[in-house]
Amino acid sequence: MTKTKVAIIGSGNIGTDLMIKIIRLSESLEMSVLVGIDPDSDGLALAKRMNVRTCHEGIDGLIEMPEWEEIKIIFDATSAKAHHYNWQKIQTFPDKKMIDLTPAAIGPYLVPPVNFSDNMDVSNVNMVTCGGQATIPIVAAINRIAKVHYGEIVASIASKSAGPGTRANIDEFTETTAQAIEKVGGAEKGKAIIVLNPAEPPMVMRDTVFTLSENADRDKIRESIANMVSEVQKYVPGYQLHQEVQFDEISASAPVFIEGLGLRSGLKTTVLLKVVGAGHYLPAYAGNLDIMTSAARATAERIVKTNTI
């Protein structure tokens, strides 16, 4: 099988981990170029040791390389601000597709097991955020059974796994994730909270999903959630339920007030998750970064499989 050549912009933790995943795991993607802006970065040094071409002049340098013509998919693992510039350059090449791992959200939000088929022909797709990739599948799984009025997620990650890029994008994280809970997860109203936990030793990623939905068969909701967890585990083996799904009924006589929606009653569902990283480049506790790179790789492989490039 002829592999599709890809490039990664961003030689930090996320870009480097994604590079290793593609080299070690992908049967359809070929790592062509790792791009950065610091010639002395650890990521570019590792790429050279793994016989991957490198560029330290950003997207402009990549476009000038002879490898550019054969590259079909570009992953952007930089920042929301940098992505706007990178996309301005790449969108003039109609034969290229971009997978955005920043919170820039120029393209539509994409969560592989939820809405890939709706966006397979789009030139620029956004991978939401780590919290979004972990929790939106659960919101969508519940929404398939019972209309979700409100979806709230709390993503708790090890402080050590949040680098400068993640910290610079905190505001975009909450806004992007909340919007995707609505647009992809199907909730009428979404809210996202991120917690950087300084505990030592570092804790693995923990995510809590709260939804308020119409009343429905609880066993069907459990089954839908279990099926979705299995789908995510196909590309993130360390993704798992941390406890049994919990339910509480909010009666019409004692409704809760939801900003933007007013008083609502129904079924409250609580889902507790944890994400253990694969440990390819990042430590196992950095499941927040691992789920982003894994989702991006899965998206690119599905693009190749569906022959949309």
pLDDT 10s digits, 23-55: 999 999 999 999 999 999 999 999 999 999 999
Question: What is the CATH architecture of 130-283?
Answer: 2-Layer Sandwich (3.30)
User: What superfamily would CATH give domain 4-127+290-305?
Assistant: NAD(P)-binding Rossmann-like Domain (3.40.50.720)
Q: Are 237 and 164 in contact (CB under 8 A)?
A: no
| 309, pLDDT greater than 90 | no
Backbone CA torsion sign across 108, 114, 118, 124: positive
Provide the token pair at 36.
Answer: 């950065």
pLDDT 10s digits, 106-140: 999 999 999 999 998 899 999 999 999 999 999 99
Q: Where are the domains of the chain?
A: 4-127+290-305, 130-283
pLDDT 10s digits, 137-174: 999 999 999 999 999 999 999 999 987 777 877 888 89
Q: Which residues contact 150 (CB under 8 A, 6 or more apart)?
A: 187, 188, 189, 190, 191, 210, 211, 212, 258, 261, 264
Q: Determine whether 55 is an active site residue.
A: no
| 1, pLDDT greater than 90 | no
* Residue 249 pLDDT level (bands cut at 50, 70, 90): very high
| 296, pLDDT greater than 80 | yes
Q: pLDDT at position 67, please?
A: 98
Measured between alpha carbons, how far is 249 from 245 in angstroms, rounded to an integer?
Answer: 14
Backbone φ and ψ of 126, nearest 5° = -110, 130
The mean pLDDT value of the chain amounts to: 95
Q: What is the mean pLDDT of residues 224-249?
A: 98
Q: pLDDT at position 85, please?
A: 97
Annotated catalytic residue within 47, 74, 90, 130: 130
Range of lowest pLDDT (74-83, 136-145, 214-223, 293-302): 74-83
Q: pLDDT at position 60, please?
A: 98
